Structures are given as C-alpha cells and as structure tokens.
Structure 1
C-alpha cells in the first residue's frame, strides 16, 4: 500500500491557478527535450533518472505534485520518494499531455 495519491490534471490546474501550490512543489520528471518542448512555469525540472542525486533540493515539508508526460514515470518517482521518507506526494494523472489538452495545446 502506498501513501501517495493520484490527482486529476484538471484539479491540479485549478489549485495551481488559484495559487494554492507554491514554487518548488511541482516536480517535472521528464527528460530535457520534453521539458524544452512544453512545461509549466511553476515547475522544477528534475529528470527521473537524476532524482536520487537531487533529494536535498526536493522539499519534504509540503505536498509535492509529481508530473511527467502521461503519469507513469511520475508514479514511479512517487513510489521512490515515498521509500526515501517523503510524505505528501501526488501523482498528476495523465501528466503533461492531460494538462496541455486542458490548456488548449496538443502535447503529443
């Protein structure tokens, strides 16, 4: 059983737009070419394979919203961070593809 949760892209965007999510709470774990193509200004880019090297830069005192392209890599990162002792973790369901569609942008 995991302690991390799923959050739908539309709910995530509403929280972001209302200012309920602070800088440093959104971690984008996609590769650099994906980030360069399309990303949220409020997100911090830490590619999945570099997460272990950046644990000191990831806040553990507030909820974290983990996003990738479609929600698979971010789910894996949630599981990893949970094992490292992180508490409130939310995987953005559908990832940037779902977020982009909600914002009127065709991601892939």
Structure 2
C-alpha cells in the first residue's frame, strides 16, 4: 500500500498542489478540525459514496492515526482507485486545521 507522511502531504498542499484528501473519521472527530480542503466521508459510508470519488484522481486517505484510512485505502485500491494512506493521520498533522 502506498503511504505518505503528514509532512510530505503538507509540503504538497503548501506548494499549491490540488489534492483529493478524504477524511474517514467520525463526525465528532472531524468537528475538532480537518486538513483544509479535505472531504469528510466516514469509513462506513465509503462503499455507498464511491460516486463522489473520481477514479481518475489520486485519493489521499486520512483518519486519526492511519488505521481506518488504511482500510479505506485497501478497499478503494481493490476498486481500481489510485490511493495513498496518510501514515500517522491527524495525530501527526502539524499544520493548520479547518473547522
């Protein structure tokens, strides 16, 4: 499985790269803050919301620590998506968050 560190992801965002970041945490976790521009789709909703994810676009999956996002990444990879898990998740995110 492809993985990226939070620092590497932050560099991409700070350089102006347009990224599709999917936050798979629960509502109350996301309410505390998410990566700016990330789309919130809870892990359990991924199968029902595939139509919201562009197959041609690379997806970066994030959760609290990297476990749930790894499950989401594996599921999407099986469906043919280009996907990368954000290792360490929001616990390692040092940049600003969007509330």
| TM-score, length of structure 2 as denominator length | 0.91
Q: Return the match for 2:8 from 11, 22, 29.
A: 11
Match of 2:95 in 1: 103
Per the TM alignment, residue 104 of structure 1 is displaced from its structure 2 partner at its CA by 7.7
Q: What do you get for the CA RMSD once the two structures are aligned?
A: 1.5
How big is the shift at 1:21? 2.7
Cα distance in structure 2, aligned partners of 1:104 and 1:37: 12
Q: Which residue of 27, 36, 49 corresponds with 1:32?
A: 27
Instruction: Return 5+ residue gaps in structure 2 as ranges.
Output: none
How much does 1:82 deviate? 1.0
Structure with bigger gyration radius:
1
SS in 1 for 2:84: strand
Count of residue pairs the alignment pairs up: 97
Query: Quick check: 1:75 aligned with 2:67?
Result: no
Q: Which runs of 4+ in 1 moved over 4 A?
A: none
